Structure 1
Amino acid sequence: MIESTSIRYFRIVTECGSIKQAAAALRIAPSAISRQMQGLEEELSVKLFERGARGMNLTDAGHVLYRYAIENRDQLDGLRSEVEAFDSQRRGQVKIATVEGMLASFLPNFFVDLSGAYPGISMSVTAVGSRDVAEMVGQNEVDLGLIFGRAPRRDLVELARMRQSVQLIVAPDHPLAGKISCGMKDLAGLRVVVPDPSFGIRQEIDKACAQANVRLQICNETNSLAFAQTIVSRTELATFLPRDTAMPSIQAGTLVGVPLRDKRLEATQVTLVQLAARNASPSTRLVAEMLVARMRDNED
C-alpha cells in the first residue's frame, strides 16, 4: 500500500505532463525521473507514455497504471488519517467533573489503569455536587461528568449508568452496626450527619424519608463526604453513602455499611454524562469508552 518512488514519480509526471515540469515540482534532476520511468517500463514490459512535442501522453497501459497510482495514494491517505487519529487518541487532557463519592476508589483505580495503558493522557478532575457537575458539562467546561442519579438536563447524553445503592454508614460500635439490614422505619429519630442539599445522595435520602414518613435528627450538614465519614467514625452519628464511597474505610474497619431496605435507595445510580452537542476529542472518546466498560463491570 505504501507508494513506491517509481509510482510516485510516474503519477507526478502524468499530472504535470512532462518530465521537466515533474522535476521542477519534485525539485530533483530530470535524469533521476527519466531513470525511474525507464525502469518502471522495463519492469512491467509495457510502454507507459507516448512522448511527443507537446509532452508525454499516457498509453492504454499507462492509463491502467495511473488509476492504480491514484487508488494507492487514496488508500495511503486513509491509512495516514487512521494512524494519526489513533496516535492523537493516546494523547491529550480529559476534563472530568464528578460527585465526590467517585473519588474514594472508582476514579483513582480507573486513573491508575488509564495512566498505565495510556501515559500520554492526563485527567483533570473536579469534585462538586451533582447539580454543579451537570452545569459544568452543560456549559462545556468539562468533557465528561459523573453525577448521582439521572441526567437533570435535556442537553446531556447519558453514556452509562452504574448502580450505587445507598447504605447506612456507622461506626463499628454503633447500635445499628450489627444489623443485616435496616428499613426506613428503623431510622426514625436517628442522629445523623448528612451531605448538604446540593448532593444527589441527600436528595434521595430526603425523598425516601418523606415517603416513609420518617424524620431524622440532622446534627450536621457538610459538603464533604470525607468529613462526614470522619465524624461518623469518631461519634455515635450515622450518615448515608453509596457502599463504594465508604469502601476504603469499611475495609480498614473504621466504618460499617448497613444495607437499607428501600426501593429508591437500593436503585440509586451514578451516571456518566456528556454534552450532546460537544465534538469530543479522540482522547475523550477513548476515556469515555473505558469508563463505560468499567461502570458495566462494577455494577452492584
Structure 2
Amino acid sequence: MSNDAETLRETVLSTRSLRYLHEIEVHGGVRAAADALSINGSVISRQVAQLERVHGVALLERRGRRVSLTEIGMSLVEHFRDSARRDAEMLAQLEDYRGLRRGRLEIGIGEGFVEKLLATVLEAFSLQFPDIVVELRGGATSEIIAMVRNDEVDLGLCAGGSSDPAIRARTFRAAPLCALVSPQHALAGERRIRVEQLANHRLIFMPARFGVQQYLDSLIRAERLNLTPAYRCDLFSAAQAIAAAGLGVAFMSTDAARQYLDAGKLVPLEIDHPIAREFGSQAIRRVGRRLSPAAEFLWTELIKEMQKRWVATGAKAG
C-alpha cells in the first residue's frame, strides 16, 4: 500500500464523517440528519460513500423505507461518541488546569474570622495557587449567607448555623461567646458571670443581622431579661475598642478578640449559660455549585482547620 493511500485512509476518518454517521443513526436517515444539521443531504451522502469506498465496507443498509447503520457503521458511531466524551473530559481538565493557574476566588467572611483562622489557611493556599487573586468580602452572617446563595462569592465563613436549603454547611462549635471588658472594669475580677449581672452595666451590641448578636439575643430571651445597649456598632474592632476604653461590655468569642486579649487590653468573662457555650461557626457553599479546583482546595483546608480547632456538631456535610 502506498503512503498516499495510507494518508487518505487516515484523512477520511474525520470527525465530520463520523458525526454524519452519528446524526443518521440518531435521526433515522440521511435526509433527517441533513435537516437537523441544516445542510444538503448530498453532502452527507458523499462523505459516507467516500468512507465506504476507501475502507471497503458498507456503513448503511436500507430496511424498507428506513436507512440504518450496519454493524461496522454502529462501531464507528460508538467510536465517535467515545471520542466526543473524551474530548469533553479533556476540555474540562484544561479548564480546571486553567483555574489552577489564574483567576479569582471570592470569600464572604465574618470579621472575627479573618486574622486567626483564614490567615492560617491562606498561607497554604497561596503556596499552592500563587496566581489566584483572593477577594475577601466582609459582612454579617445573614449577608454572607445571601452572598453564597446568590453566587456572589465562592465560599463563606461566619458565625451561627444556616437553615437555608440552598446552603451546604459545615458547622462547628467555636470558642464560647464571652463578655469582654477592660482590666479596670468593675466585672474584670470575675472569671464567670451570670446573665443577670449584665443588667447594671453599659452594653455594646451588634446589629441583629450578626450571628453573634443572634446568640446573645437568644440568651437574653431565655433568661427573660430586658437589656438595652448603650452602643450598637457593626464592626467587631469598634466594639473591642469601646470595651477596651472602659466604656462598656462587648460580646464575641475569644478568637475574634485575640489581638486585644493578647495585648492585655481586654479581659474575657465566661457567660454561665448553655447558649453561650454552644456558640457555633460555619463554613458554607451553595448546594449544587461546582467549585473551581482552587476553591475546592480552600474548602477542604478550611474544614481541616476547623476540625482541628473546634468540635464538629453534625452539620450537613459538604
Task: Answer whether contact 1:162 1:270 (CA < 8 A) is retained.
Answer: yes
TM-score by length of 2: 0.67
Task: Answer whether contact 2:171 2:283 (CA < 8 A) is retained.
Answer: yes
Task: Answer whether contact 1:138 1:155 (CA < 8 A) is retained.
Answer: yes
> Which range moves more in the overlay, 284-293 or 212-221?
212-221
Q: What is the one-letter code of the residue matched to 2:295? A: T
Task: Give the 5 Å matches for 1:175-186.
Answer: 175-186=186-197
Alignment match, 1:29: none
Q: 2:4 & 2:196 partners in 1: Cα distance?
A: 90
Count of residues in Structure 1 that have an aligned counterpart in Structure 2? 244
Q: What is the one-letter code of the residue matched to 1:100? A: E
Question: Is 1:94 matched with 2:81?
Answer: no
Alignment match, 1:192: 203
Cα 1:17–1:260 change in 2 (3 A) is farther
Alignment match, 1:151: 162
Secondary structure of the equivalent of 2:255? helix
Q: CA deviation at 1:213?
A: 2.5
- Overall identity of the aligned pairs, in %: 21
Question: Is 1:202 matched with 2:228?
Answer: no
Alignment match, 2:290: 279
Question: Is 1:109 matched with 2:114?
Answer: no
Deviations 1:153-183 (A, max 9, x none): 1111113435232111111111222222112
Alignment match, 1:19: 6
TM-score by length of 1: 0.71
Task: Answer whether contact 1:189 1:216 (CA < 8 A) is retained.
Answer: no
Q: What is the one-letter code of the residue matched to 1:112? A: E
Structure 2 unpaired stretches of 5+: 13-52, 57-78, 312-318
Task: Give the 5 Å matches for 1:123-138.
Answer: 123-138=134-149
Structure 1 unpaired stretches of 5+: 1-12, 26-53, 58-69
Q: CA deviation at 1:24?
A: 6.4
Q: CA deviation at 1:88?
A: 3.6
Task: Answer whether contact 1:143 1:284 (CA < 8 A) is retained.
Answer: yes
Q: 2:209 & 2:198 partners in 1: Cα distance?
A: 22
Q: 2:146 & 2:220 partners in 1: Cα distance?
A: 27
Task: Answer whether contact 1:92 1:283 (CA < 8 A) is retained.
Answer: no
Q: What is the one-letter code of the residue matched to 1:277? A: G
Q: What is the one-letter code of the residue matched to 1:20? A: T
RMSD: 3.1
1:121 maps to which of 132, 136, 155:
132
Q: 1:234 & 1:262 partners in 2: Cα distance?
A: 26
Q: CA deviation at 1:92?
A: 3.0
Question: Is 1:215 matched with 2:226?
Answer: yes
Q: 2:306 & 2:101 partners in 1: Cα distance?
A: 21
Cα 1:160–1:290 change in 2 (3 A) is farther
Task: Answer whether contact 1:90 1:120 (CA < 8 A) is retained.
Answer: yes
Deviations 1:210-241 (A, max 9, x none): 21123334101011111111111112311101
Secondary structure of the equivalent of 1:245? coil
Deviations 1:242-278 (A, max 9, x none): 1100011101111111121111111111111111022
Secondary structure of the equivalent of 1:201? helix
Task: Answer whether contact 1:18 1:56 (CA < 8 A) is retained.
Answer: no
Alignment match, 2:23: none
Task: Answer whether contact 2:96 2:292 (CA < 8 A) is retained.
Answer: no
